[in-house]
Amino acid sequence: MSENRIGLLVGTIAVTVMVFLILPQLILLVQSFTAEDYLSFPPKHFGLRWYAFIFGDETWRRALSTSLLIAVLVTPLAVIIGTAAAIGLDRGPMRMRKAMRTALVSPMVLPHVVLGMAIYRVFLPLRFDDTLAGFLVAHLVLCVPYVIVTVGASLQAMDRSLEQAAMSLGASLPVALWRVVLPLVRPGVIAGAVFAFITSFDEFIVTYFLASRQTTAPIQIFSSLSYQLEPSIAAVSGLTLVVTAALCGLLILRGSMAGTTQVA
């Protein structure tokens, strides 16, 4: 088989997989603009009725506000902790580096059901469950690994001679980290912040273990699905999809601009 045919086959498979993954989300997004009392595809009448409903309904507004508040608070904390951890792993002893990295990024690969149960068992005796602080700590456990991975990748690609040159010219280590290292790993920091925000805003399983009175958007969606499938659920899902896609698009655009600047 020639290289052209192999490339065509790989491209066809890639496009098929992308369509398979994206098409259900596009269908849901179109359904969210229905003006009817039920979901249908394609909708007979289009409108923003259910988007107005979720912003006007107290339950949905409170759930969305809680999710947004947690994500906004978690993101900068995850960036600070994850960036510091990534730099520490990059500069730490070689023997402990692999074990520490594995331990720190393990929440990315462990099932969230296991994490949720473990965090709940720790928080319950401390009466830390169903509190904003408890949600923040639990979401940090999930979000920090993404920052560690993205910043760590940027550190691996960084030219260490620039930092050494700054220190040879009299800059202290903290100054070199602030003025040289952090600007160079900025793409990794931004990517980590985007992933942290999306992960926190969309998190359901761990939050479900901790929540009893407080409600986030994913928990409210699950609760609504337990009774009936309303277009309001599609509207919330569509809103979440648009926000997630916009953040990922900004991240891709930022990477493309950085690559163009580097080439220039």
Give the CA angle between residues 197, 32, 57 to the nearest 5°: 75
Mean pLDDT of 176-196: 86
Give the CA angle between residues 236, 238, 240 to the nearest 5°: 70
Q: What is the pLDDT of residue 28?
A: 81
CA-wise closest residue to 143 among 82, 98, 72, 97: 82
Q: What is the pLDDT of residue 263?
A: 40
pLDDT surpassing 80 at residue 114: yes
Mean pLDDT of 106-127: 88
Q: What is the pLDDT of residue 55?
A: 84
Average pLDDT over the chain reads: 83
pLDDT surpassing 90 at residue 77: yes
pLDDT per residue as tens digits for the range 159-173:
777 877 887 778 787
Coil/strand/helix, residue 110:
coil
pTM, full prediction:
0.82
pLDDT per residue as tens digits for the range 128-149:
888 888 899 999 999 999 999 9
CA-wise closest residue to 187 among 157, 164, 222: 157
